[in-house]
Amino acid sequence: MNLDFSTLAGAQDFLWQGFKYSLTLTVSSMVFGIFFGTLLAMARMSSIKPLSLAAAGYVNLFRSVPLVLVIFWFYILVPLLTGVDVGAERSAFLTFAIFEAAYYCEIIRAGIQSIPRGQIAAGQAMGFSYGQNMRYVILPQAFRNVVPLLLTQTIVLFQDTSLVYVVGATDLLGAADKVAHRDNTLVEMYMLVALIYFSISFALSQAVKRLHARIAIVR
């Protein structure tokens, strides 16, 4: 089998645009997912039963269905229900933001539960409200405990962004696929994309491993 990477030079800009979209989708979904996931985690641990049940239902729903199916839900059903064509890229962002929030929620909830009850009692003894206790005492420690897990989930998120190609969004895989079919270089393009995903994911995984070891030493 003869491999021909000569066409890559003329496709670099297009592939770079796809790569930037993958990174943008990853970062934006991570930020929103962690923010909304934190609210979900607090809701799941709330003493208000309806709120706790609603949050648990949300998390269990999105952790029990394939991501690609949720992508199709938003891409197809949202325009049908609202009459607004949000487009492939906006559908992808909405999907990843609400889907990843369920996973970040469970990580953050585990972090909150790892904090000794004495810390909560200490905050209450200082006169902190529930919100102040969470903001100043519990959440900073909880996030520090689960930073490696949050980053690991973000690596998975980066890999999963390749699924948006099924609805026509031009991420890294989508860009490579278009170049591959245009230049008849399917093997070369898919090998290149696989190498890029592997290199970035492996490097980040090693960085997370070192961070986890450092946090463990500090403890």
DSSP 127: T
Local confidence pLDDT in tens for the 219 residues of the chain: 566 666 676 778 888 999 999 999 999 999 999 999 999 999 998 888 999 999 999 999 999 999 999 998 888 887 888 777 778 888 888 899 999 999 999 999 999 888 887 777 777 778 777 777 888 888 888 888 899 999 999 999 999 999 998 888 889 999 988 888 888 888 888 898 999 999 999 999 999 998 888 876 555
For the residues of 35-90, what is the DSSP string, one character each?
HHHHHHHHHHT-S-HHHHHHHHHHHHHHTSS-HHHHHHIIIIIHHHHHS---HHHH
pTM as predicted? 0.88
Going from the N-terminus, what domains does the chain have, and what CATH number goes with each?
6-218 (1.10.3720.10)
